[in-house]
Structure 1
Amino acid sequence: MSWKVANLCAQRKFGSPVRKQIIMFLADKASDDGSGIWCSKGTIQRHTELGETTVKRTINEFLHESILIETGRRACKNGFTIVYRIILSAVGRLDSIAEPEDETGSTADGVLREPGTGSGADPVPRPQRPPNHPETIPKPPTRAGARTAAAEVQKIWDEYPQDRRRDEASCLNWIEVAIREVGEADLRAAVRAYAEETAGFTRSKVSFSDNWFRAQKWRGYVAAVREKAEAEAARLDAHLDRVAEWVKSRSELCRHLSLTQVQLAIAKGLVTAEEAEAAGFRDNKTHV
């Protein structure tokens, strides 16, 4: 159970008692980030005492509105159970149940009191609000850097080919989930790789953004991007090993090296600054 998710859902309007009841049951099963909700529609039906059709319809509504997404499946005795995730940012955009503070009118309580009965001050300190007032319920902390995160999500959306964009609101939610898993840089590189690979394809041969992000088709491209980066890093490491070997031995091949390459080898601890200087490399100069 996550009180953070439950409290967030409790303070938002979902449009009907049935929708509120189901989302609160799901929130009770969620982790603090809204993930890990593993319960079948039959389980929801038994615990909420709602009809099977009602539960299925409401879950489908949440999925369509991107309040809920499917993140996987887990085996069970009847086959498999879908794992859900509540999108906290989508819930946060719903209307709040809180009423605005009423600052108008008289502050007097209108109760007449007998004169001369002593001080009217209450000697016992009391809370300003009763314990069940909405503002006394702990609220989930706001995420640090929310504006930065929103900007990263928007950048990914802007990278997707414009003629294939569809259902922006849902895509932004799916992008936010993907960024938390693989990072903004890798996801952006994956979108670019897909755009370059399918450039010039007809609309019947490409995937629209809502299908691409919902089905997590970026996973294969992220894997390819990371594999390429690892291969390039391995090639660079091998090259710097050769640079260090040439510098240490003061080989004639040093004439083919730049000061930048030698500085990289020094930074990685492959050679020392003294060894580089002895081979003819000095600051602000390239070897001739």
Structure 2
Amino acid sequence: MSHKATNWLADINPKDLTNAEFRILFVLCDCHNPSAGCFPKQSYIMAKTGRGSSSVNDALTGLEGKGFIRREQRTNPKTGKREATRYILGFEMDGAQEPSPNSGEGKKGSKPEQTGAPTPNSGDGSISGFSADPSPVFGQNHLRKTGVVYKEEPVKEPVKEPCAAGASHHQDLNLVLDEIWAAYPRKGDQLATEEAARSLIEEGASPADLLAAVEAYAKKSASYDESRVKLSQNFFAGDFWRRHVPVAAKVASRDEILQARAKTILEGKTFLCRSITAHAAGECITAGLVTPQDCLQAGIAL
């Protein structure tokens, strides 16, 4: 994060932003480079904030509407393909004067020295007239006695944040969506494509099947005229994509199915384990391939 972005973000009134807008604006400021600009992929923003595509888009639209950011769509002049969006932050825009939601930056210059009593806004002022108490770090100090007594609490074991697994799930899912986008032969609207694939996965479709269907279609359509190849966002509409999921060469035996299911559980990839029911997990436990603890760690409620 650049110093300018840090100072600008610190001066913004929290009441001007929703929780989602602040989190996403923090990520944009963190990605800002004074000489290169700000170009984070939307999948990166989603992974960092733990929010879905629609939530991120709503927050970005809100930030742009309030004048905190401006988005610039860029296209490669040689290939014609869309490149990463550039985010211009408020302090980079022209005409920034008084601090406001439209500019986010005020007049240049240092604050006047405070000579009066301390205030909540400045935090500085006259040195206390009370006798000094020793500081555990620096010895004598000028801290004013407040009369507040702080009770020391015993150290407790750290509590595991419940959102950690969700963040990992978003990161894994975003990697799959990136692979699908990279493999598709005729790219259309990236956001619409990722949203369509995400919806299918949330409805129970296998991410591996989606990627395999895309790869098979890319190979099949390699000899087509481009106009005959479906745009990426249309590939997942209806059941068209299912026609291209490769059929297994042979029917797997029950033991092979249980072993593959157990492997998925042991790998602990939450977004894949969501399709495994408690009964199916119980079959793996009965076969001695996994333990109940393995299933619980993978997010399967027994």
Q: TM-score, normalised by structure 1?
A: 0.32
Larger Rg: 1
RCO comparison, higher one (Cα < 8 Å, 6+): 1
Tell me the TM-score normalised to structure 2 length: 0.30
